[in-house]
Chains A and B, each alone.
Chain A
Amino acid sequence: MRMFSRTLKMAFHALRNNVMRAALTTLGIVIGVAAVITMVEIGNGAKVAIQRTMVSMGANTLVILPGAITTAGVNNGAGTMMTLTPQDKDAILKECSSVIWAAPIVRARAQVVYGNRNWVPTYVYGTTPQFLDIRDWTEMTEGEAFTEHEVLNSSKVCLVGQTIVREVFAGQSPIGKHVRIRNVDFKVIGVLSKKGANLMGMDQDDIVLAPWTTVKYRVVASALSGGNQSSTSNASTSEVNTLNMIYPELQQNLYYVPTATELTDTTQQMRFPNVDQILTAAPSADQVAPAIQQISSLLRQRHRLRNTDPDDFSVRDMTEITKTMSSTAEMMTKLLLCVAMISLVVGGIGIMNIMLVSVTERTREIGLRMAVGAEPGDILRHFLTEAVILCLLGGTMGIIIGRGSSFVVSMVLRWPTAVSVGAILSAVFVSASVGIAFGFYPAYKASRLDPIEALRYE
C-alpha cells in the first residue's frame, strides 16, 4: 500500500514536470471519451424518439381475438368462437399490471349514407375512447371524441376518418351532420386526424368509430352473429335458401349443421354480450411479453379453462414492428460503438507515442533509478501508472465535456438526449484499459533497459 502511494506520488511528480505535454497527450482521450458520451447520449435520445414513433405505429399494442370453432374438422378461423366479453376487458385493465389501456372492438361492415352519397368504409368499429389512446390517435382535426358516458348510453354519435370526410361529405366539415349506418342515424361529433396507410397498405383513415354498445345493439343487433360478417348464421342462410320454395317438404340446408355430439365436443359458450376483439396496449414495447403472459393467465382463469384445455382466445403482438424497432436500436448502438472504438484507439496510440518519447527522454533517469535499486517491476509500474493517470484524467475531462456538449446539443438543436450512466461508467473503464493497453509497451521497454547503457545514454 505504501509502495502504491509512493508510485502514485512519483507518477504525479513526473507528470507535473511536463504539464503541457501531459495535457496534449490526454487530449486524444479527452476527445475520444467526450465523443463517446455525446454520441451515446444523443443516440439514446434518438432511440427514445424512434421508440415513441414506433409506439404510435402500434408496437406496444396487443390484439386479443376469440378462439376458433372447429366443425367436422373444418376450422373456421380466429374469431368464430364468441368468448370475449366487455367484462374480460375490464378485468384485464384492472388486474394486468403491464397493460395500461384496453378497448373492446365490435366490427361491422355497413354502408354509410349522407344525402345523395354513400360509401362502405373499410372499418366500422364500435369501441370505447381508450381505442384512441391505444392507437395514439387522440388528436382530432375537428370536434372531439365520444366519452365513456356515451358508451354507457349507447349514444348514436360517431367519429369519422379523413377518407370518409372526402368521400361522403365531399371535403365539407361533417361536424354536427347526421349519417345513416344501416338505417341508424348517427351524429358526427369528431373528425380523426390523418394517419395514412398501415404497413399492409390498408387505408387507416377509411374508418367510422362509434361507441361499441351502439354498434353492437343498434347496428349489428344480433348477439348470435356477433357482428362478425364472415361467420354466416343459419338463420340468414335459410332466408335465402330458394330450394325451400321448390321443395317445401324437404328440410334442406345449404351449409353443414353440426350434430348434437359435435356441438357438445366444441362447447359454444354463450355468455353475452360478446365483443369481436379486445385491443390492449402495454406502456412500452419491452412490456409486451409480460403483458401477453398476464392476459393469457387471466383469461384462462376467467374462462374457467382446465390445465389440459387449449386457449379459447389468442393474443397477437406486432412482431414485425417490434423486430424492426429492436434491430434499428441495435444497429444504432453498434454504429456508436464503432465510432467510439476508433476515437479511443486513436487516443490510445497518442498516449503510447508520447510515453515512448518520454521513456527515451528519461533513459538516464531510468538508469539512475535502476542503479540505486529500482527493480524492473518498479519501473514498469511507474510508467504504467503515469499512462493510466493520464487516461483517467482524460476520461474525467471527457465525461465533463461530453455531458456538457450533449446538454448544449439538446438545448440548441432541440434533439432529445438521455443521460447514460452506463456510457459514463464504461468510458471510465475503457479509458483506464486504454491506458494499461497502450502504456504497457513503453513501460515494458523502460523496464528492460540495461542500467549501464541507460546511464551512459546522452
Chain B
Amino acid sequence: MEFIELHDICKTYHLGELDLPVLRGVSQQVAQSEFVALMGVSGSGKSTLMNIMGCLDHPTSGEYWLDGREISRLTAKERARLRNRMIGFVFQSFNLLPRMTAFENVVMPLMYSRDNLTERDMEQRAAELIEKVGLSGRLHHRPSQLSGGEQQRVAIARSLIGRPQVLFADEPTGNLDSRTSEEILDLFQQLNHTDRITLIMVTHDPGVAQYAQRIIRIRDGLIDSGATPSRPGDAP
C-alpha cells in the first residue's frame, strides 16, 4: 500500500437547494518522499482535493488512506491531532501571526502538541529549523519587519516544527517575485531530498510545477492525466 491512497473521492457542496459537485471520483496514489504538483485552473477542485488530503476537510464519499489509516471518517478532534503530528501547511499568504516574532510563530504549533515537550526542547527545535531555512539573524523580528521570501521561510519552518511526514503547499510562490520563488522552491527540493518529506504542492504555474517529480492535473473535479515531466534539477 502506498503512503497516500485516494479511492473514488467525491466532494459535493450544498448551497441551499443546489448541489455543487467539486470532486467527482478522484483516485490517486502518492508514494512516500514523492514531490507532487497539483495543477489545474481555478475552480477545478485542486484546493478542495488538497484540503481533503491535508485532513482539513472530509470527503462526501470515497476512501482516503494516509500512512495505512483510513481517515475520511475521523472526527474534527482526531483530524486536528493528525494534522499536528503528521502534516505541515504552507500557504500562499504565509498566514503568520502579526503580533508574534518569527520565533514565536515557528514554535506556535507545538503549543497544541500532545507529546509533552519541554520548553527547552521546543526552543531548540525552533532554533534549528530557523537556521535550516536560513533566517538565523531574524529570530525576534515581527512578520512586518521581514520580506515576503523571509516570511515564507518562517512559514516553512513553522510547518516543519512538528516533524511532519507530509507537507502541503498551497501556491507557496503566489505572492513572491521570481527570484525568491526559486529560492523557496529550491528549499522545498532540498527538504524532499535530504529529509525525505513527502511534498504536495498546489499551483497553476507550469514553471513552478516543473520542480516536482510528478504533476497531477485536475480538470472539473477529475484527474486529467498523470504525466511525469523532466525535472530541471536533475537535468545535466
Contact = CB atoms under 8 A, between A and B. Distances in A.
B95 A452 contact: no
A198 B54 CA distance: 86
Nearest to B159: A372
Interface string A350-393: 00000000000000110111111111111000000000000000
B83 A455 contact: no
A236 B222 CA distance: 127
A363 to B, nearest CB: 12
Contact of B158 (A367, A372, A374): A372
B69 interface: no
Name A's interface SS.
helix
Interface stretch (B16-24, B27-35, B107-115, B132-140): B107-115
Contacts of B54: 371
A319 interface: no
A10 interface: yes
A373 B80 contact: yes
Nearest to B96: A368
B99 A371 contact: no
Contact of B83 (A2, A6, A372, A378): A372
A373 B91 contact: no
B112 A371 contact: no
Contacts, number: 57
Interface string A386-424: 000000000000000000000000000000000000000
Interface string B74-116: 0011001101110001010001010110000000110111001
A13 B108 CA distance: 12
A121 interface: no
A28 interface: no
By size class, the interface of chain B is 20 to 34
Residue among A10, A369, A372 having the largest count of chain B Cβ atoms under 10 Å: A372
Given A364-B95, A377-B77, A371 B111 contact: no
Given A372-B84, A376-B76, A455 B112 contact: no
A411 to B, nearest CB: 44
Residue among A376, A451, A452 having the largest count of chain B Cβ atoms under 10 Å: A451
Interface string A1-19: 0100010001001000100
B41 interface: no
B56 interface: yes
Contact of A452 (B56, B112, B158, B162): B56
Contacts of B109: 372-373
Contacts of B91: 455
B111 A368 contact: no
A377 B89 CA distance: 21
Contacts of B95: 364, 367-368, 455
A375 B97 contact: no
Contact of B97 (A365, A377, A452): A365
A375 B80 contact: yes
A131 to B, nearest CB: 76
Contacts of B67: none
B76 A373 contact: no
17 contacts: A2-B116, A13-B99, A13-B100, A364-B95, A368-B95, A368-B97, A369-B112, A370-B80, A371-B54, A371-B83, A372-B109, A373-B112, A375-B77, A377-B77, A378-B80, A378-B112, A451-B56
Given A372-B108, A374-B111, A375-B81, 16 more contacts: A6-B111, A13-B100, A371-B54, A371-B89, A372-B83, A372-B89, A372-B109, A373-B81, A373-B112, A373-B113, A373-B162, A375-B80, A375-B112, A378-B80, A378-B112, A452-B57
Q: Which 5 A-B pairs have the closest CB atoms?
A: A373-B84, A372-B109, A375-B80, A374-B112, A373-B83
